[in-house]
A = this chain, B = another copy of it.
Amino acid sequence: MTVKIGLVGTGTVGGGCIDILQKHKQDFQRHLGVDVELVRVCSRNPEQAAAHNVADIFTPDYRDIVNDPKIDIVVELIGGTTVARNVVLEALAAGKNVVTANKALMATHGQEVLDTAAAAGKEVAFEASVGGGIPIIDPLKHSLIANEIGTVMGIVNGTTNYMLTRMADNGMGYEDALKEAQANGFAEADPTADVEGFDAAAKIAILASIAFNSRVTLADVYTSGISQISPVDLEAARGMGYVVKLLAIAHRTPKGIDVRVHPTMIPATHQLATVNGVYNAIYVVGDAVGETMFFGAGAGSGPAASAVMGDVLEVARHVQQGVGPLVGCTCTDQLPILPVDELQMKYYIRFTVSDKLGVLAAMAGIFAQYNVSVHSVVQHSKKESTVDVVYVTHVAKESDIKAVIEEIAGLDDVLQGPPSLIRVEE
């Protein structure tokens, strides 16, 4: 039999999928015994469809796909949580299997999507929603299932990793790094979702849900971006034997799930420390397997399409062999989310203050007042009568650190802009 595919969305990833199908259709038949055929393509942009030679199967209305009785698998590649949600839910309700690359949808409406799939007895696959082409969701749902996963953390946003790499290696400032990333097509015109960590937050919500068998949504993830980071911080970290990465972190703790995205100092010897440029990597620790890491290109037409088409072919194998969903929703537990204020770790904090007598003493007093023990403090003079003061604390409570920062911000005429706050992950 031929497994029939309907594709919604012909942008970068959708175009990549069409290319793979056109290039490897015969290989899939020979190697996998799977015969897949793209029978319908929907896009807001007919020219994109025409550019990929699929004008003859083009439709401007996704309903022509979700309602087409001959289609077995609907591939949703438009992104977002509005039309995409309709496409996915309507396709499942109409008895189609669904493959999606939509991190926002899965991180916010994942439960609804998986419940709808279960009710329909159909599959939803979403490997491409995290880490581009890197196989990570599949390993977590299959190869690593004998483990209790304690940690899943990673570099899951290529834009910010590119920027931080350029800032660290070339001393480039934040704004210049952002402009270069935009010029190279690694950052969007509005970079907010990337630089503020929301993209990474959606991805760690998805990974944590699978790794810990407990639903974590985007709203559960404490998120802090890289916009306050300067080359000064990266240089200082290097001097201490650390590297700064925007990490998406999820730990299983006795009290619940600790899940967050923020700039993080990791030892330069950590396997994640050498993941540079637009590359992504996800580091997983299981009680049996120990440390593992999955590395690759986190974005781009080919990598994302590799993940989407891997899912499509896997689902097609099942359709062809008459096999229903083997794995549905894996969130069988209900673990609490740990409030970020209760976390305890080491902190790197850089304040830029006016070069006035008494400022340092006042700041030291505030650290002492909140019982935050300081491991080291280094002062760098800057131009225009300002001074960079870099604190590294011993293990402290997040809520105390916040109080310290707030209080110091209240010192008269002292603080020049928000501090740079980097949490330390040993």
CB-contact partner of A292 in B23, B291, B296, under 8 A? B296
In angstroms, Cα B274 to Cα A295, docked, is: 13
Chain A interface bracket (under 10, 10 to 19, 20 to 34, 35 or more): 35 or more
Q: Judge if A373 is at the interface, Cβ distance under 8 Å.
A: no
Residues of B contacting A213 with CB < 8 Å?
30-31
In angstroms, Cα B228 to Cα A254, docked, is: 50
Contact yes or no, B297 A295, CB < 8 A: no
Contact yes or no, B290 A309, CB < 8 A: no
Residues of B contacting A317 with CB < 8 Å?
326-327
Residues of B contacting A313 with CB < 8 Å?
145-146
Residues of B contacting A143 with CB < 8 Å?
127, 135, 138-139, 307, 310
Interface residues of A in 314-370 (CB under 8 A from B): 314, 317-318, 321, 323-324, 326-327, 330, 332-333
Whole-angstrom distance between the Cβ of A168 and the nearest chain B Cβ: 14
Residues of B contacting A302 with CB < 8 Å?
287-290
Residues of A within 8 A of B (CB): 16, 20, 23-24, 27-28, 30-32, 127, 133-135, 138-139, 142-148, 213, 271, 274-275, 279, 286-297, 300, 302-303, 305-310, 312-314, 317-318, 321, 323-324, 326-327, 330, 332-333
Query: Known pairs A145-B314, A289-B297, A289-B306. 5 more at Cβ < 8 A?
Result: A133-B290, A147-B306, A288-B306, A290-B300, A293-B294
19 residue pairs A–B, Cβ–Cβ below 8 Å: A20-B288, A24-B148, A27-B148, A31-B213, A133-B286, A133-B288, A135-B142, A135-B143, A143-B310, A146-B309, A286-B306, A288-B302, A289-B297, A289-B307, A290-B302, A292-B296, A317-B327, A323-B323, A323-B326
